[in-house]
Structure 1
């Protein structure tokens, strides 16, 4: 016998309705969750709509947290805290591609190097940035920003010689390149606070050999000049010593000539108290006659 409610609907029938509603609710909830997107802390979101009357880029940035994406909507994320990124020859977390920067000096000698930059996006300008380039941050970083960093470094290195870079000028060069990049991107909401070399510049081996040979030649020349300077100083010292002795002798002779008694006085000072022995008609050096 079926269990019938007064309204004529059986209990099993009502259970089926409730179960069906629950299943539909779970499906709708799952669909809603799958359409959502979480903006990670430290990022800002830009809502892009491809359907409806409001299609386009929403001018209001989205804060970190979970946000619903309706049909035809998606969210692009941009970093708003400072982060470090690299362009290197070796593979990194973005993949195995060779992203080293290439450039040359004022004699068109080719070189390469790895660089890193510290950058962030002004959250208020993230929507305008996406509107202008229609690129995600990764695409922006790997495309236009990388090209401008490479162009800025190349523009500065083309003004100097490889010897200037090798002997310490590379830091001045990359700081000028940073200023070039910021002149373009800072007004658009991209702040690059640091641009640095990673390791050393990779110079052509022939250039390294030439620089090292020149360095050795300069060192040898400096050593030879130092030896010449020492020898000259020693010779000058001997000349001055001889000049001083000659001057002393001259003054002594002049003194003796003008004061004969000085000679007698010095002889008396050295006398041992014994009369000198003389032969023949020799006259003693010291006059011991009666005064």
Structure 2
């Protein structure tokens, strides 16, 4: 009898342990638990930590709610029908308060069913509104529009868009060559324009200088008077006297007469 009681007690203990194991569950950090009862999704959402459930009737599926990163390379067409390949990095997370709806309506493979197609669709819709050159020069604007459109799509399926980054736009070799030729032509045109402006400025400076010299000459001519001429003649005679060697010429050549001193000192 005693041995029988021990056996029964052991069996009961094992059953209790098994029931405890199968009636408890632990939701990992950064996750939420979707409670299933006989395969049907219940409205209850289990937070992180330890929880009880009905063994063999209820089960728990864990859904990550931390920020997840999705990188992909997408091909689209620009407004001017240039093929462009964009590398896109998207950070998103599942709405913690709607993991049961996400699991029920989409399932655990929401990344391949929702996220990837939404990224491709948003990028193609936005790039079709810009030319290839605008995609390069207006990248922040393009990124903002893609983010807005993608956020709406993900919100519809109980996901939150955290951030998006368009790393680069890659175009065909023919387009890259055309851009390079255009930039070279623009640089040459700019250089020619600058040279023309420089030549124009130099010509204007020369004209201004010539006008200034002409005006100076005109003013000098206005200043030439009879008194000034006589004064200049006197200055010439004074310089001649300074160079006199003591021999007095009776007559000087040229237009300016020399003072005749041959009779000086004779009475």
Q: TM-score, normalised by structure 1?
A: 0.71
Match among 144, 158, 167 for residue 175 of structure 1: 144
Match of 2:212 in 1: 244
Post-superposition offset of 1:50: 3.4
1:64 aligns with 2:33: no
Measured in 2, the distance between the counterparts of 1:213 and 1:161 equals: 17
Verify the 8 A CA contact 2:233 2:256 in the aligned structure 1.
Answer: no
- Choose the corresponding residue for 2:75, options 84, 93, 102: 102
Matches within 5 A, 1:49-60: 49-51=37-39, 56-60=40-44
Out of 96, 105, 118, the residue aligned to residue 123 of structure 1 is 96
Matched, 1:41 2:29: yes
1:204 is matched with 172
Q: Assess, with a 3 A threshold, how the Cα gap between structure 1 residues 114 and 84 changes in structure 2: closer, same or farther.
A: farther
Q: How many angstroms does 1:188 deviate by?
A: 5.5
Q: Which residue of 2 aligns with 1:163?
A: 133
Gap runs ≥5 in structure 2: 245-250, 259-267
Query: More strand per residue: 1 or 2?
Result: 2
Equivalent pairs, count = 248
Match of 2:63? 77
SS in 2 for 1:106: coil
For residues 260 and 122 of structure 1, the distance between their equivalents in structure 2, rounded to whole angstroms, comes to: 106
**Cα distance in structure 1, aligned partners of 2:64 and 2:257:** 115
Cα 1:273–1:135 shift into 2, 3 Å = farther
Rounded to whole Å, the distance in 2 between the matches of 1:42 and 1:134 is: 20
Larger radius of gyration: 2
Match of 2:261 in 1: none
Unaligned ranges ≥5, structure 1? 1-8, 89-99, 286-291
- Which of 104, 107, 122 in structure 2 is aligned with 1:152? 122
Aligned position for 1:288:
none
Cα RMSD (Å) of the superposition? Answer: 3.2
Deviation at 1:130, TM superposition (A): 3.6
Q: Measure how far apart 1:105 and its partner are.
A: 0.5
Aligned to 2:252: 279
In structure 2, the residue corresponding to 1:193 is in which secondary structure? strand
Report the TM-score, using the length of structure 2 for normalisation.
0.76
- Kindly state the Cα deviation for residue 154 of structure 1 after the two structures are TM-superposed: 1.0
Query: Contact 2:85/2:170 (CA < 8 Å) preserved in 1?
Result: yes
**3-state SS of paired residue (1:159):** coil
